[in-house]
Chain A
Amino acid sequence: MKICVFLRHLRSNIKIMEKFKTITSTFVPLPIENVDTDQIIPARFLKATTKDGFGNNLFADWRYDKAGNPITDFVLNNPTYSGEVLVAGKNFGSGSSREHAAWAVAGYGFKVVVSSFFADIFKGNALNNGVLPVVVSESFLADLFAEVNADPKTTVTVDLENQTITDNKSGKKETFQINAYKKNCLLNGYDDIDFLLSNKDKIEAWEKNN
Chain B
Amino acid sequence: MGKTLFDKIWDAHVVTAVEDGPTQLYIDRHFCHEVTSPQAFDGLRKRGLKVFRPEKTTLSPDHNIPTLNQEKPIADPVSKFQVDTLTKNAQDFGLTLYGLGHEKNGIIHVIGPENGLTQPGMTIVCGDSHTSTHGAFGAIAFGIGTSEVEMVLASQCILQPRPKTMRINFEGKLQNAVTAKDLALYMIAELTTGGATGYFVEYAGEAIRNLSMEERMTLCNLSIEMGARGGMIAPDQVTFDYVKGREFAPKGEAWEKALAYWKTLKSDNDAIFDREITFDASAIQPMITYGTNPGMGMAINGTIPTLDAIDEASRISFQNAMKYMGFSAGEKIEGKQIDYVFLGSCTNGRIEDFRQFAAAVKGKMKADNVTAWLVPGSWMVEKQIKAEGIDKILVEAGFELRQPGCSACLAMNEDKVPAGKYAVSTSNRNFEGRQGPGARTLLASPLVAAAAAVTGKITDPRNI
Asked whether any CB of chain A lies closer than 8 Å to the CB of B212, the reply is: no
Write 19 A-B pairs (CB below 8 A) sorted by A numbering: A3-B21, A32-B320, A33-B314, A38-B429, A38-B432, A38-B434, A47-B64, A49-B39, A49-B82, A50-B38, A97-B131, A121-B129, A179-B21, A179-B22, A191-B147, A196-B24, A196-B154, A202-B16, A210-B12
The answer to whether A2 touches B19, judged by C-beta atoms less than 8 angstroms apart, is yes
B: contact size bracket: 35 or more
Asked whether any CB of chain A lies closer than 8 Å to the CB of B245, the reply is: no
- Distance between A159 CB and nearest chain B CB, rounded to angstroms: 19
Among A69-77, A123-131, A150-158, A164-172, the stretch in contact with B: A123-131
- Distance between B189 CB and nearest chain A CB, rounded to angstroms: 14
Asked whether any CB of chain A lies closer than 8 Å to the CB of B91, the reply is: no
Asked whether any CB of chain B lies closer than 8 Å to the CB of A180, the reply is: yes
Asked whether any CB of chain B lies closer than 8 Å to the CB of A1, the reply is: yes
The answer to whether B145 touches A124, judged by C-beta atoms less than 8 angstroms apart, is yes
Chain A, residue nearest B81 (CB): A49
A-B CB proximity, top 3 nearest: A181-B21, A49-B38, A97-B143
The answer to whether B145 touches A97, judged by C-beta atoms less than 8 angstroms apart, is yes
Residues A177-210 near B (CB distance < 8 A)? 179-182, 191-193, 195-197, 199-200, 202-203, 206-207, 210
The answer to whether B412 touches A47, judged by C-beta atoms less than 8 angstroms apart, is yes
Q: Specify which of B13, B47, B410 is in contact with A193 (CB 8 Å cutoff).
A: B47
Residues of A within 8 A of B (CB): 1-3, 6, 14, 31-34, 36, 38-39, 42-44, 46-51, 61, 66, 89-91, 94-99, 102, 117-121, 124-125, 128-129, 138, 179-182, 191-193, 195-197, 199-200, 202-203, 206-207, 210
The answer to whether B159 touches A192, judged by C-beta atoms less than 8 angstroms apart, is yes
A125 CA to B43 CA, complexed, in Å: 15
The answer to whether B151 touches A193, judged by C-beta atoms less than 8 angstroms apart, is yes
The answer to whether A61 touches B432, judged by C-beta atoms less than 8 angstroms apart, is yes
Chain B, residue nearest A207 (CB): B26
Given contacts A97-B127, A196-B155, A197-B154, contact A3 B145 (CB under 8 A): no
Given contacts A49-B82, A121-B129, A196-B151, contact A14 B412 (CB under 8 A): no
A117 CA to B194 CA, complexed, in Å: 8
User: Which of A3, A120, A202 has the largest count of B CB atoms less than 10 A from its CB?
Assistant: A120
Q: A193 contacts which chain B residues (CB < 8 A)?
A: 43, 47, 150-151, 154-155
Q: A33 contacts which chain B residues (CB < 8 A)?
A: 313-314, 316-317
Residues B19-76 near A (CB distance < 8 A)? 19-22, 24, 26, 35-36, 38-39, 42-43, 47, 52, 63-64
